[in-house]
Amino acid sequence: MANETPVVQHFIRQIVAADNASGKHGGRVVTRFPPEPNGYLHLGHAKSICLNFGIAAENGGTCHLRFDDTNPGKEDIEYVESIKEDVRWLGFQWDLLRHASDYFEVFYRGAEKLIRLGLAYVDDLSADEVRAYRGTLTEPGRNSPWRDRGVEENLDLFRRMRAGEFADGAKTLRAKIDMAAGNINLRDPAIYRIRKVPHQNTGDAWCIYPMYDYAHCVSDAVEGITHSLCTLEFEDHRPLYEWFLEKLDLPNDPALTEPLRASGLWLEPSRPQQIEFARGNLNYTVMSKRKLIALVQDGLVDGWDDPRMPTLAGVRRRGFTPAAIRTFWERAGISKQNSVIDVGVLEGCVREDLDARAPRRMAVIDPLKLVIANLPEDHEETLAFPNHPKDESFGTRAVPFSRELWIEREDFMEAPPKGFHRLVPGGEVRLRGVGIVRCEEVAKDAAGTVAELRCTLDADTRPGMPGAERKVKGTIHWVSARHALPAEIRLYDRLFNVADPDDDSDGKTYRDHLNPESKRILRGYVEPSLGEAAPEAHFQFERLGYFVADRRDHAPGRPVFNRTVTLRDTWAKLAKG
């Protein structure tokens, strides 16, 4: 994959370079992208994908795709498949595909080892009681009454938990660390809980499931991960990550990983290092998976791939390109400082990419009939237009022209304001690639709405004629009414109309800030060649913006186009007032 933008040096690249120079990890670089299959990936996940796969590729290493499927009540195979598709669409391919559930037996053996070492115990406290015993940031926690159970009793109870003898929530297995620790994550965190829920991979084989903090570090270790790249919210969890790895000592305890040898899943275990970076936050959107699920389930959007959603499936359907997203996150850089990036910067990267790659076409999305009265009724000809004004390699295309055209309704005004340089009664404008026309007559319908313009074409101003260089201030686009195809044009905009929809300080929620203008469906006309456009083909509709053929609904002879971005950042103007 070619670099779209110069590589930005950052602290993670520096750490990996220093590790390689010192021979740490034996010169290996192994990363992983570990999503939970409980929703669709969003733009914030793309930052982690680009970082993990990018660091591995830059250093001749490998990157694993690992599904953190330890919470079966919220997981679904639909999410698994969507995640794999999104990673591939972004331009990456994993070297190894694994699931946390591949290691369930390893997790269990590790938990029994902690019990035998006197470092874990079965607790009978309820979830509410555990919270009450935990203490606060300023007050230490209290030991559970069950903390001093003996090793044999704990082993017996834990094995009975696995056998399904106890009800959900009746017992947990907790690490025995320090209830007075300043870091609350070290106050005897849960390792296992009882969940009698079928698992998408293992079925009914298990009714106890490991907690994330435990499963994640063990998964990293058994896969030989060298650099475990996490977002900043896991920084306070790193001491626990290190504690588990130290006590389990996976590289030197083959009994723990024996099940993987038997199943052919064994890799050389390692002692990975966790490194945290700031997550990717964008304004005018929400990234909370809970809120995104609510938007979908409550019908506030048209599914996970609604083009207004910040999901990768959504921005893909909107027409954002993988190259633009990769460029955006590379330019944003990696740091330890949380910040919010203007979504307009991402839209700018999309414009930049599409300006170079999108062929030009003409389309009219709010049509007004224009008749060239001084041409014969059966007039018809074919004009040659460049497919890209900046790149001759795109070639040219044939565009039909006839006496009756469709133009944009906004390109005509009866009483124009100062500075309006398009068509007015008695005024002239250049028709793109045709010549100069004068508006001679305005016809209206019974409601008084302008229905048709009757114009005359100055034949001397046609391309190649002596008057072709005659100056007029306005140039407008058009399509031939006789040849153009009716098309559904979907104009998408930002889903929220405030920069921080998560801010509820005024008593409003993100739902109160949904942008009523975020989706408009129009019936327009497009050049006939667009009827054969493939789904997900990108185009610049001249003077209107960048559009993409909808990947679901577009079909030959039935064009459906989504606006990806406007030609210019209209939100920047609004922000300036």
Q: Is 418 a catalytic residue?
A: no
Residue 7's pLDDT is 77
Query: Is 44 known as a binding-site position?
Result: yes
Render pLDDT for 368-418 as a digit per residue (tens, 0 to 9): 999 999 999 999 999 999 999 999 999 999 999 999 999 999 999 999 999
Is 519 annotated to bind ligand? no
Residue 36 assigned ligand-binding role: yes
Instruction: Report DSSP letters for 57-117, one per residue.
Output: HHTT-EEEEEE----GGG--HHHHHHHHHHHHHTT---SEEEEGGGGHHHHHHHHHHHHHT
How do residues 210-264 score in pLDDT, each as one tens digit? 999 999 999 999 999 999 999 999 999 999 999 999 999 999 999 999 999 999 9
Sign of the alpha-carbon torsion through 340, 343, 348, 349 = positive
Q: What percent of the chain has pLDDT over 70?
A: 98
Out of 279, 397, 470, 543, pick the active-site residue.
279
The tens digit of pLDDT for each residue in 370-381 reads: 999 999 999 999
**Is pLDDT above 60 for 2?**
no
Average pLDDT over residues 171-198: 97
Known binder of ligand: residue 310? no
Q: How many CB atoms lie within 10 A of CB 499?
A: 17
pLDDT in tens, 25-59: 999 999 999 999 999 999 999 999 999 999 999 99
Q: Which of 553, 526, 555, 523 is nearest to 542 (CA)?
A: 526
Instruction: Choose, from 13, 36, 142, 409, the residue flagged as catalytic.
Output: 36
Which residues fall within 8 angstroms of residue 341, CB to CB, at 6 or more apart?
A: 280, 281, 282, 283, 332
Distance CA 38, CA 23 (A): 38
Tell whether pTM > 0.75. Answer: yes
pLDDT on residue 576: 56
Which pLDDT band, with edges at 50, 70 and 90, does 149 fall under? very high
Query: Residue 192 above 90 pLDDT?
Result: yes
Tokens representing residue 311 in the block:
């999901």
Mean pLDDT within 76-105: 97
Three state DSSP letters for 368-382: EEEEECCCCCCCEEE
Annotated ligand binding at 68? The verdict is yes
> pLDDT band for position 569 (50/70/90)?
confident
Is 231 one of the annotated binding-site residues?
yes
What is the tens place of the pLDDT at every residue in 286-302?
999 999 999 999 999 99
pLDDT given for residue 518 in this prediction: 97
Question: 418: annotated binding-site residue?
Answer: no
Residue 38 assigned as binding residue: yes
Share of the chain above pLDDT 90, in %: 94
104 pLDDT band (50/70/90 cuts)? very high
Q: What is the pLDDT of residue 571?
A: 67
Report all structural domains of the chain as residue ranges with CATH numbers, in order of start. Answer: 11-277 (3.40.50.620), 279-357+486-577 (2.40.240.10), 362-483 (2.40.240.10)
The answer to whether 158 and 172 have CB atoms below 8 angstroms apart is no
Q: Is 36 a catalytic residue?
A: yes
The predicted pLDDT at position 4 comes to 56
CB atoms within 10 A of CB 182: 10
Q: Is 48 annotated as a binding residue?
A: yes
> In 3D, which of 367, 357, 389, 564 has the Cα closest to residue 485?
367
Lowest mean pLDDT of 188-192, 293-297, 569-573, name the range. Answer: 569-573
State yes or no: pLDDT of 269 exceeds 60: yes
Pairing of strands 367-372, 404-408: antiparallel
Q: Which two tokens stand for residue 155?
A: 């082993």
Count the Cβ atoms, other than its own, within 10 Å of residue 221. Answer: 27
532-565 residue pLDDT tens: 999 999 999 999 999 999 999 999 889 999 999 9
Given a cut of 70, is residue 281 above it in pLDDT?
yes
Tell me: is residue 289 an annotated ligand-binding position.
yes
Structure tokens at 269: 């275990």
Average model confidence (pLDDT) across the chain: 95
User: What is the per-residue pLDDT for 570?
Assistant: 74
Q: Is 47 annotated as a binding residue?
A: yes
Residue 116 is a catalytic residue: no
The active-site residue out of 289, 361, 430, 551 is 289
Contacts of 445 (CB under 8 A, 6+ apart): 451
Phi and psi, residue 327, nearest 5°: -60, -45
Residue pair 173/123 in contact by the 8 Å Cβ criterion: yes
